[in-house]
Amino acid sequence: MTVVVGGGVIGLLSTYLLASAGQEVVLLEAGEAGREASWAGGGIVSPLYPWRYSPAVTALAHWSQDYYPQLGQTLLRQTGIDPEVYATGLYWLDLQDEDEALAWAERQGRALYPVPLEQVRAAVPALGDGFSRAVFMPGVANVRNPRLLAALREALQRMPNVRVVEHSPVGALIQEGRRVVGVRTAEGEWRGEQVVMAAGAWSAALLAPLGLELPVKPMKGQMILYKCAEDFLPSMVLAKRRYAIPRRDGHILVGSTLEDVGFDKAPTEDALESLKATAVELLPALANSEVVKHWAGLRPGSPDGVPYIGAVSGFDGLWLNCGHFRNGLVLAPASCQLLADLMLGRKPSIDPAPYAPGQRLGH
């Protein structure tokens, strides 16, 4: 049996892929599955500024972007819940490093090109006046992450070889010699041949008693939500590290902050006002709209945003899939496929070397 610790998108999808290959899996979640960072994010299926990341992040992002439409279709077919993978394209406005972005796109063979502002205004009539330049990447999708998480959870509920145990915080990993053989919870022990750590911002604290220093810490992000007409915002728009994301039914997400405040995830009035100002700068008509919802989540911040995926040397049976920082939803399909490939002894779909915990963990 495999024990997966953490029920965010990484834990849910890792469980789904391992179980689909015939593994017996128990997934343990401290709260409700899919209600932390994965639920709180915006769901853009691209890093905000993909050219600013290392090739390690780019490799996972491109694989995942290509895979998301079929994942959405498969989950809809299996569960009746539509994750709404919605290809709208993305406009970056007044990019400071536009030349670097265009050079990156040419090297990577990705469509990204400047567009005249009149063309942007024709495509996005609600856009504010305060912008002078734009670049566009067609085909970029967003996924309705709460529905993706609900679909994954429902898919797992239907699998006879999976058990999802919620409200069951893991207190400690169980070691026998140098082997990790399970986890301890308030209700008792869960033992397995493998333990997968996919607990996001909480992973470091669970690994620390083993003498492992995982440089992953919580980074708070706050978002707000509006409800508009279905055709109000046809494409995603991004300026000054803030973005507006349309859902198919007219909901508009505006985000997000980036705050280093530990495990405090209370929404704040300051952030609300800042996000509303961003919303009105991007889309002035939102000045007359009520904020439907305001929330916060804790991203698993990591150096350079490169996740830790693979076996932990010196600790047989322990595997990591954590530290995705701002890109958990973006990178989840590739990250979880890579983990499953490694755990099942298959040829990896992506070169595993950049993500191997190995020398990247402190002892």
Instruction: Name residue 114's amino acid.
Output: P
Its pTM surpasses 0.85: yes
Q: Which token pair is 32?
A: 């409700």
Q: What pLDDT is attached to residue 39?
A: 96
Contact (Cβ atoms closer than 8 angstroms) between residue 184 and residue 172:
yes
Which parts of the chain register pLDDT below 50? none
| Among the listed residues 81, 82, 16, 8, the one whose alpha carbon sits nearest the alpha carbon of residue 40 | 8
Which residues have C-beta within 8 Å of that of residue 95, sequence separation ≥ 6?
101, 133, 135
CA distance 338 to 336: 5
Task: Please state which CATH number belongs to domain 1-85+139-214+303-363.
Answer: 3.50.50.60
Rounded-to-10 torsion of CA 253, 257, 261, 266: -30
Packing angle, helices 55-79 and 328-343, rounded to 10: 90
**CB-CB neighbours of 66 under 10 Å:** 12
Buried b (16+ CB within 10 A) or exposed e, 196-213: bbbbbbbbbebbeebebe
Q: What is the pLDDT of residues 81-134, one digit of tens each?
A: 999 999 999 999 999 999 999 999 999 999 999 999 999 999 999 999 999 999
Sort strands 25-28 and 162-165 into parallel, antiparallel or unpaired. Answer: parallel
Sort strands 318-322 and 194-197 into parallel, antiparallel or unpaired. Answer: parallel
What strands, in cross-sheet order, belong to the sheet with 179-185? 170-176, 179-185, 188-191
Q: What pLDDT is attached to residue 361?
A: 84
Q: What pLDDT is attached to residue 363?
A: 53
Q: What pLDDT is attached to residue 321?
A: 98
Q: Which token pair is 279?
A: 């919303």
Backbone angles phi, psi at 127, to 5 degrees: -65, 145
Q: What pLDDT is attached to residue 199?
A: 98
